[in-house]
Amino acid sequence: MSEKNIKFVFTGGGSGGHVSPALAVAAELKKTLPDSEITYIGVRNKAEGLMVPKAGLPLKFVKSQPLPQGKSPVALFKFFLTMFSGLLKASLILLKIRPAAVFATGGFVSAPTVFAAWLLRKATFGLFKTKIIIHESNVDLGKMNKAAAKAADEVAVSFSETIKNLPKHKGFFSGYPVRSSIAAMDKGDARRELGIPENAFVIFAFGGSQGSRTINRVLANSAKKLLENKDIYIINGAGKPFGKTYEYHGFNDVSEILAKQGLSEEEKKRYILRDFIDNMGLYYSASDLLVIRAGAGSVVEACSKGKPMLIIPISNIGNDHQIGNARFIERAGAAAVIYEKTDPLNGIDIAFADGKEFCETVSALRNDAERLEKMAEAAKNIFPGNPAEIIVGHILHLCGLGEKPAEIKGAEFLNDRVLGLNSTSLEKFLKKVKSGAEKPLEPDEIKLIKNKIDMLFSSPNPVIKARACRSSGIMGYAEATPLIIKYAADKNSAPFLSRDAFAALNDLASVCEEKEKDKIFGAMLEGFASSYYETRFSAEKCVSVFAKRFGLSEDEREKLLAALFKNMYDRCFEVRIEAVLAAAQIAEDSGKLLENFAHLYFDAVWKVRSALFQAFEILIRRGVLDKQKAAVEADKVLITSNGYTTEYELKKHYNSVVELIQEKKQ
């Protein structure tokens, strides 16, 4: 194989974030080996269809699709079918080209090509010699990349942190390759070209090629307030949809909001709205502050330009890699971060950024030139080396055309323990914090978790909402109480949701506000009559804690007791138990209570009878029931039971020795 006609296959895509690093590496490769041939393999109707031809590379299509979310066997079968067809086609293409190496940037798009190359190598016992190199742009390996990493010869990573999750000696740090086509310009020249005065403060907000709803809306809604300062100029790359499926049209959305804002002619001039930005270099150069998302691409690009950033990361349930990126840049001192949130109580379930917080952050930054300068300086230093150059060096080394490039280390990426949690793992984590197995939460962590819980509340799935309730209870998220009361009182709530809402209220009793009292008692009465048994007894469990917290009026006591007496006839034994215990906590008149207990003395479930004895104890301690009477009553209860606690004596002695060894015991 002569060096002249050496061939490569590049693949990866789905979104621009996977295509642009591939193109950056391709450009660098062409620079080093001008006669090499690069073929790109992508999927139809995705970002690569637009971007690759623009870069002047031949593009071939295969079929592929992301891993289906649910467990539906039909979807899984379809997935396998698609992948199989993609694999076949990719194999044919590879056999025809016989490339020296395959470079993949991950995502589902690259899977067929990577696995085809690997299978061809295995099937021909090494006659087919193509090398496989993968680039991972995020801190956490994607599912496809995790599998692909096993097939690959080497894996380039954007964050040093990722290497430890890779097979040994496969990973190397490269950073995230950026397009070198974004030429830097003189700030003054750029402003002259855009018609912006020299001394203006220019905010450049850009949410990727498709635009970001959160950035667009917070910016457009704050326009009036921001533009009050005569030196502020806003450049907004609002974006427009390029696929058929993406329904958000950024440019139109922003235009509509701006029309409602009632900006003056002069102010309109200072809000420069664009649908699609081609000449990024010009706008970057002209700006003082970037407002961006925290996708690896945009962050690295902004850093390489040395600009201060205001980052609004995307929050997704179970996947916080953007928040992770944002906090990484923030810790390095190059960015301020505003987190997205939802407002489930007021029915705003689409994530947004708070306008007030946004304006305050922008003006604080504007008035602190020194800080801006430091941020710019910090931004430049975050990512050392030229990622594209490093990757090309490794590709050539693998193909036997060059020396292995020297190792470099990226900045350390602190892994946040509160990131990447989904509804289930969040609850587990909060329990650990509560039990002391994890360190207590820092204030910024509490803020992040509260945002996350709000987001879970905004989920349409009641099971996730229920977990949000439980998490709120565990961490003592008092601000969520009104919402939780709403779920508890609503007859149409899903059974699990109303049950967990009551469980959360139980936990929140000590922190919730006095003014919620009436609503909580109302919710409890609704809960007693719920059609779901777990809701009924969860509501009953709340009685004593709230009676202690708020105190009871005579009227409330009567109402609660009447409902509890009724529930002592419930067909579920747990409802009967909790009714007995709750009644014993609040009753003042022992005679009436004992009358209602009488029918439970021979209850079929011994746990109910055992609850009666607990109730007697509570009543005696509270001084409601005198001891003689209690003795008479206790004697009437059936004390035969079909349950007992096992006790392994041997294990008891074993434990006693272990305790002695561990010096817990004197």
Instruction: Write out the residues near another protein by the rule CB under 8 A.
Output: 462-463, 466, 494-497, 532, 534, 573-574, 605-607, 641-649, 651-652, 654-655, 658-659, 661-662
Please tell me the distance from the alpha carbon of residue 514 to that of residue 548, in angstroms, as a whole number.
12
Q: Shortest distance, CB of residue 656 to another protein, whole angstroms? A: 9
**What is d(CA 25, CA 21) in angstroms, rounded to the nearest whole number?**
6
Which residues touch 292 (CB under 8 Å, ≥6 apart)? 205, 206, 207, 215, 298, 299, 302, 309, 310, 311, 312
Query: Least distance to another protein from the beta carbon of 287, Å?
Result: 50
Contact 64, 109 (CB under 8 A): yes
Pairing of strands 59-61, 7-11: unpaired
Q: Which of residues 394 and 536 has its CB atom nearest to another protein in the complex?
A: 536
Q: How far is the CB of 102 from another protein (least distance, A)?
A: 29
Q: How many CB atoms lie within 10 A of CB 518?
A: 10
What residues does 292 pair with on adjacent strands?
206, 311
Cα 43 to the center of its chain, rounded Å: 27
CB of residue 661 to another protein, shortest distance in Å? 8
Tokens encoding 115: 């696995």
Which C-beta is closer to another protein: that of 72 or that of 381? 72
CB of 317 to another protein, least distance (A): 18
CA contacts within 13 A on the Cβ side of 538: 25
Q: Are 409 and 162 in contact (CB under 8 A)?
A: no
**Considering beta carbons, is residue 25 or 488 the nearer one to another protein?**
488
Distance from the Cα of residue 656 to its chain's centroid: 45
Nearer to another protein, 553 or 656 (CB): 656
Q: Toward another protein, which CB reaches closer, 199 or 645?
A: 645
What residue type is 170 in one-letter code? K
Nearer to another protein, 78 or 96 (CB): 78
* Beta-carbon contacts of residue 40 (< 8 Å; ≥ 6 apart): 9, 10, 11, 22, 26, 48, 52, 57, 58, 59, 60
CB nearer to another protein: give 245 or 645: 645
Minimum CB separation from another protein for residue 59, in Å?
Answer: 36
Closest to another protein by CB, 418 or 497: 497
The minimum distance between CB 532 and another protein, in angstroms, equals 5
Minimum distance of another protein from residue 416's CB (angstroms): 25
CA dist 597 and 66 (Å) reads: 60
Shortest distance, position 489 Cβ to another protein, whole Å: 17
What are the contacts of 179-182 at 24+ separation with CB within 8 A?
Answer: 179/20, 179/23, 179/24, 179/27, 179/301, 180/24, 180/27, 180/28, 180/388, 181/27, 181/281, 182/280, 182/281, 182/284, 182/301, 182/305
CB of 492 to another protein, least distance (A): 12
Select 36 or 567, whichever has its Cβ closest to another protein.
Answer: 567
- Could you give the CA distance from residue 224 to residue 368 in angstroms, rounded to a whole number? 22
Least distance from C-beta 328 to another protein, angstroms?
31
- Of 196 and 577, nearer to another protein (C-beta) is 577
| Of residues 75 and 194, the one with the C-beta less far from another protein | 75
Which residues sit opposite 352 in a β-bridge?
Answer: 341
The least CB distance from residue 525 to another protein, in Å, is 21
Encode 323-340 in three state secondary structure: HHHHHHHHHCCCEEECCC
The span from the first CA to the last CA of the chain, in angstroms, equals 79
CB of 499 to another protein, least distance (A): 8
Cβ–Cβ < 8 Å for 567, 528: yes
Cβ closest to another protein, residue 199 vs residue 646: 646
DSSP string of 263-328, one letter each residue = --HHHHHTEEEES--S-HHHHHHH-SEEEE---HHHHHHHHHTT--EEE----BTTB-HHHHHHHH
Q: Which residues pair with 236 in a beta bridge?
A: 205, 273
The Cα 566–Cα 563 span in angstroms is 5
- 348-352 and 341-343 strand pairing: antiparallel
Give the HSE-up count for residue 615: Cα atoms under 13 Å, Cβ half-sphere: 29
CB of 148 to another protein, least distance (A): 21
Q: Which helix (H) or strand (E) holds 507?
A: helix 495-508
* Cβ at position 179, least distance to another protein in Å: 42
Do the Cβ atoms of 560 and 592 come closer than 8 Å? no
Report whether 303 contacts 295 (CB < 8 A).
Answer: no
- What single DSSP character describes residue 206? E
Q: How far is the CB of 351 from another protein (least distance, A)?
A: 25
